[in-house]
């Protein structure tokens, strides 16, 4: 290799600068996206990009990185491009068959843990598990709890089972089926769900960002409440007396979710806000037996 050939190669710093500029029109986190994608192409931890920013990059890696950036420009999530996403400090595999776990959903896990005692050995139900993010986070924190996790996508369940296996979690029973159908006759101390809650209008307006993820994990009709209505209506038949239902929802859906919980007969209702201060999780307790 000639010295001039090495000198003509782009550096880590120049690649990041150019790609961040390239992504500005298609991503609200252009610089971060560029860093994650370049670190992935190089096989580095992202922090190393700063210490070795003057190093030149081999042509085959440059080509792979540029292909990733072009894919990102189409709206494909970074997590799909690199194949993983961190959730609750756990690295999870992500594919186009699963919803990309969001930071907001960690609040659902936090709220559920507040309702599942550390010494509990009861059963918990996660409806619409997708990548298994919520079920796996709960299983890692409550190893004595038996968790049933359902989904209507066999492909998503394959990803969820893989993720549970990577983290050596054996207390999750993954089942195929629509909402409560796979748990007929069973009752739980808590039911959790991050269901579809994107309205038809939101889907149309944000299709560039959301179009690469499974629509059935996102879309929920005109008001975004179709799935939430089904969950609130069906939960009483599957909760132990004193059990809890916790549902993530859109930030505009807090009052509607609260109304649905009230009408179904839940008590001890609360809606929790995410870090930006938006209503994100509503919970309610099914009443204890009168006697």
* 112 occurs within a structural domain: yes
* CA 195/CA 188 separation, integer angstroms: 18
Residue 154's contacts (CB-CB under 8 Å, 6 or more residues apart) are: 176
Here the tokens at position 128 are: 């619409």
112 and 246, same structural domain?
yes
pLDDT of residue 198: 85
122 and 249, same structural domain?
yes
Q: Which domain holds residue 69?
A: 3-74
Domain final residue pick, 74, 104, 135: 74
* CA 274/CA 45 separation, integer angstroms: 29
197 and 59, same structural domain?
no
CATH value at residue 65: 1.10.8.10
* 90 occurs within a structural domain: no
* 67 occurs within a structural domain: yes
CATH value at residue 124: 3.40.50.150
pLDDT of residue 259: 97
136 and 259, same structural domain?
yes
* 14 occurs within a structural domain: yes
221 and 108, same structural domain?
yes
151 and 33, same structural domain?
no
264 and 145, same structural domain?
yes
pLDDT along the chain (291 residues), means of 10: 61 93 89 91 90 92 92 88 90 90 93 94 95 96 96 95 95 96 97 90 74 75 90 97 96 94 97 92 89 45
67 and 22, same structural domain?
yes
Q: Tens digit of pLDDT for each residue in 226-282?
A: 999 999 999 999 999 999 999 999 999 999 999 999 999 999 999 999 888 999 999
Q: How many domains does the chain have?
A: 2
* 141 occurs within a structural domain: yes
Here the tokens at position 143 are: 């190893």
111 and 59, same structural domain?
no
Residue 284's contacts (CB-CB under 8 Å, 6 or more residues apart) are: 244, 245, 261, 264, 266, 267, 268, 269, 270
240 and 198, same structural domain?
yes
114 and 38, same structural domain?
no
130 and 16, same structural domain?
no
> Over the Cα atoms of the chain, what is R_g?
22
Give the orientation angle of helix 254-264 with respect to helix 226-234, to 10 degrees: 30
* CA 219/CA 3 separation, integer angstroms: 55
* 120 occurs within a structural domain: yes
Q: Please check whether residue 148 is in contact with residue 188, taking contact to mean a CB–CB distance below 8 angstroms.
A: yes
The share of the chain scoring above pLDDT 70, in percent, equals: 97
pLDDT of residue 220: 75
Domain final residue pick, 74, 106, 131: 74
Q: Please check whether residue 176 is in contact with residue 150, taking contact to mean a CB–CB distance below 8 angstroms.
A: yes
């Amino acid at each position: 290799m000639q010295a001039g050939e090495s000198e003509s190669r782009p550096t880590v710093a120049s690649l990041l600068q150019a790609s961040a500029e390239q992504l500005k029109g298609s991503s609200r986190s252009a610089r971060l996206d560029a860093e994650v994608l370049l670190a992935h192409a190089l096989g580095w931890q992202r922090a190393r990009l700063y210490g070795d920013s003057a190093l030149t990059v081999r042509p085959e890696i440059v080509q792979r990185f540029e292909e990733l950036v072009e894919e990102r420009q189409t709206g494909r999530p970074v997590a799909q491009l690199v194949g993983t996403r961190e959730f609750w400090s756990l690295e999870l595999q992500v594919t186009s068959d699963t919803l990309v776990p969001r930071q907001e959903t960690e609040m659902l896990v936090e709220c559920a843990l507040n309702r599942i005692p550390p010494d509990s050995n009861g059963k918990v139900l996660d409806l619409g598990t997708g990548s298994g993010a919520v079920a796996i986070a709960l299983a890692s924190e409550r190893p004595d709890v038996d968790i049933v996790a359902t989904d209507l996508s066999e492909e998503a369940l394959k990803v969820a089972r893989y993720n549970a296996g990577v983290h050596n979690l054996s207390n999750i029973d993954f089942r195929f089926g629509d909402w409560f159908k796979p748990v007929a006759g069973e009752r739980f101390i808590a039911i959790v769900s991050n269901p579809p809650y994107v309205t038809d209008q939101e889907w149309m307006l944000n299709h560039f960002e959301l179009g690469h993820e499974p629509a059935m994990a996102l879309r929920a009709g005109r008001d975004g409440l179709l799935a939430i209505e089904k969950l609130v209506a069906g939960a009483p038949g599957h909760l132990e007396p004193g059990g809890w239902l916790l549902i993530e929802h859109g930030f505009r859906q807090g009052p509607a979710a609260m109304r649905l919980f009230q009408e179904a007969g839940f008590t001890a209702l609360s809606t929790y806000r995410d870090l930006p201060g938006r209503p994100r999780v509503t919970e309610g307790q099914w009443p204890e037996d009168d006697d």
